[in-house]
């Protein structure tokens, strides 16, 4: 009855969130005095998982690219083989997609947005965010089986090197009429979900022609770019960059908001970020109340200066 963790990878590389999920699974396994088994799909080199306390890896070679129902059933079969009662996943779009399907398959309850190791394993009790980051709730789960979705950048990476055994696992396929027709990937950019740092700008930038400095700042920091809702509604930036309550959620380590007022609907979606920096001409902008660091000033002067200084800093700290 080991703890099972789904470790997501893309193009032959584990995502950082996979290691975070593995770290979390290890913490749960330690509390329950058991082992951790990981499921990895279409990932050849699984050696890194041992750094995060994974005792055993079940490798699945799937003929299918991601299909939530299919992958949920792979994980379900792995859970049954391992008699796992606790299944840990990350909060990527794909993991959030398959988690509820998996929960029903296992007759399990599901807790998403979990930010801490369980405060108790009997009853199994976890802390999760609720009310769009305006509160935390301690959730007791009374079902035999539980699916736990861990928030990004909350539990963090915890190294705990162990010996890992690896075996191939050949689950059955399920029937699905769902067929992928096309995938458009934003190539060469850091995605908002994976990014440690997000640089975001709002209507304060006046027009799409002024985004060069936002992109440059993001590039210097290795960050993803994002924007407020009006900016994408006006067509200044693509919809995929819109963050907030009705856009993408952000839970990065660092969120830099440039010319964004900090409306409650914007904050709702980005508040889970650890450190927030605001650059705004208006000292009364509500975002200053939610931020850790702020610069009251004109973005057109502050951002280029910041870029130059960061380049120097990066060169010194490379």
Partner 1 sequence: MKILVCISHVPDTTSKINFSDSDSKFDPTGVQFVINPNDEFGLTRAMWFKEKQGAAVEVVTVGGPEVEPTIRKALAIGADSAIRVDIPAVDGLQVARELAAVVKDGGYDLIIAGRESIDYNGGMVPGMLAELTGAEFVNNCIGLEVEGNTATASREMDGGKETVTAGLPLVIGGQKGLVEESDLRIPNMRGIMMARKKPLNVIPAANSSVETEFVKFEKPAPKGAVKLVDEGNLDELIDLLHNEAKAI
Ligand X SMILES: Cc1cc2nc3c(=O)[nH]c(=O)nc-3n(C[C@H](O)[C@H](O)[C@H](O)COP(=O)(O)OP(=O)(O)OC[C@H]3O[C@@H](n4cnc5c(N)ncnc54)[C@H](O)[C@@H]3O)c2cc1C
Site for ligand X in 287-316 (CB under 6 A): 298-300
For the CB of residue 204, give the shortest distance to partner 1 in the complex, in Å.
15
Site for partner 1 in 150-169 (CB under 8 A): none
DSSP of 135-169? EEEEEEE-SSSEEEEEPTTTS---------EEEE-
For the CB of residue 279, give the shortest distance to partner 1 in the complex, in Å.
9
Q: Which residue in the set 131, 161, 167, 168 belongs to the binding site for partner 1 (CB under 8 A)? A: 131
Q: Cα 159 to chain center, whole Å?
A: 19
For the CB of residue 246, give the shortest distance to partner 1 in the complex, in Å.
5
Residue 204 touches which of partner 1, ligand X, none (Cβ within 5-8 Å per kind): ligand X
In Å, the largest CA–CA distance within the chain is 60
Beta bridge partners of 80: none
For the CB of residue 50, give the shortest distance to partner 1 in the complex, in Å.
26
Site for partner 1 in 83-112 (CB under 8 A): 92-94, 96-101, 103-105, 109-112
Residue 282 touches which of partner 1, ligand X, none (Cβ within 5-8 Å per kind): ligand X
Residue 181 touches which of partner 1, ligand X, none (Cβ within 5-8 Å per kind): partner 1
Print the binding letters for residues 173-212 with partner 1: x by CB under 8 A, - otherwise.
---xxxxxxxxxxx--x-xxxx--x---------------
Residue with tokens 């699945």: 60
For the CB of residue 131, give the shortest distance to ligand X in the complex, in Å.
15
159 forms part of the interface with ligand X (CB under 6 A): no
For the CB of residue 298, give the shortest distance to partner 1 in the complex, in Å.
8
Using alpha carbons, list the distances in angstroms from residue 169 to 75, 174, 178, 195: 10, 16, 24, 31
Residue 134 touches which of partner 1, ligand X, none (Cβ within 5-8 Å per kind): partner 1
Residue with tokens 């769009």: 132
Stretch that binds partner 1, among 29-37, 38-46, 51-59, 140-148 (CB under 8 A): 140-148
Beta bridge partners of 243: 248
Query: d(Cα 152, Cα 250) in Å, to the nearest integer?
Result: 9
Q: What are phi and psi of 200, to 5 degrees?
A: -125, 145
Judge whether 24 and 3 are in contact, CB under 8 Å: no
Residue with tokens 């080199």: 45
For the CB of residue 296, give the shortest distance to ligand X in the complex, in Å.
9
Q: Which residue in the set 198, 244, 252, 271 belongs to the binding site for ligand X (CB under 6 A)? A: 244
**What sign has the CA pseudo-torsion 28, 33, 35, 39?**
negative
Cβ neighbours of residue 169 closer than 8 Å, sequence gap 6 or more = 39, 58, 59, 60, 77, 78, 81
Closest residue by Cα to residue 99 from 137, 73, 60, 129: 73
Site for ligand X in 120-139 (CB under 6 A): none
Query: d(Cα 116, Cα 151) in Å, to the nearest integer?
Result: 9
Judge whether 289 and 311 are in contact, CB under 8 Å: no
Q: Give whichever of 22 and 205 is closer to ligand X, judged by the CB atom.
A: 205
286 forms part of the interface with partner 1 (CB under 8 A): no
């Amino acid at each position: 009855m080991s703890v099972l963790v789904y470790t997501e990878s893309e193009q032959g590389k584990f995502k950082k969130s996979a290691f975070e999920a593995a770290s979390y699974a290890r913490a749960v396994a330690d509390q329950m005095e058991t082992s951790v088994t990981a499921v990895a799909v279409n990932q050849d080199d699984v050696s890194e998982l041992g750094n995060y306390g994974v005792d055993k890896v079940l490798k699945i070679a799937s003929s299918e690219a991601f299909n939530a129902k299919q992958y949920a059933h792979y994980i379900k079969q792995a859970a049954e083989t391992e008699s796992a009662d606790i299944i840990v996943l990350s909060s990527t779009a794909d993991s959030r997609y398959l988690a509820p399907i998996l929960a029903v398959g296992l007759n399990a309850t599901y807790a998403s947005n979990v930010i801490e190791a369980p405060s108790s394993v009997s009853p199994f009790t976890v802390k999760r965010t609720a009310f769009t980051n305006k509160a935390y709730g301690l959730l007791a789960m009374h079902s035999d089986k539980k699916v736990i979705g861990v928030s990004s950048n909350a539990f963090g990476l915890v190294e705990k090197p162990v010996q890992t055994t690896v075996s191939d696992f050949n689950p059955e396929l399920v029937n699905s009429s769902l067929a992928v027709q096309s995938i458009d990937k934003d190539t060469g950019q850091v995605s908002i979900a994976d990014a440690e740092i997000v640089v975001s700008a709002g209507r304060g930038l006046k027009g799409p022609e002024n985004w060069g400095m936002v992109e440059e700042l993001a590039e210097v920091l290795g960050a993803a770019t994002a924007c407020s809702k009006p900016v994408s509604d006006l067509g200044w930036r693509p919809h995929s960059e819109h963050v907030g309550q009705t856009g993408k959620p952000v839970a990065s380590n660092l969120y830099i908001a440039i010319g964004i007022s900090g409306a409650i609907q914007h904050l709702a979606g980005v508040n889970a970020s650890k450190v927030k920096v605001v650059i705004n001409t208006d000292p009364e902008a509500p975002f200053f109340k939610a931020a850790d660091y702020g610069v009251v000033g004109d973005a057109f002067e502050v951002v280029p200066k910041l870029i130059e200084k960061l380049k120097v800093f990066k060169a010194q700290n490379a």
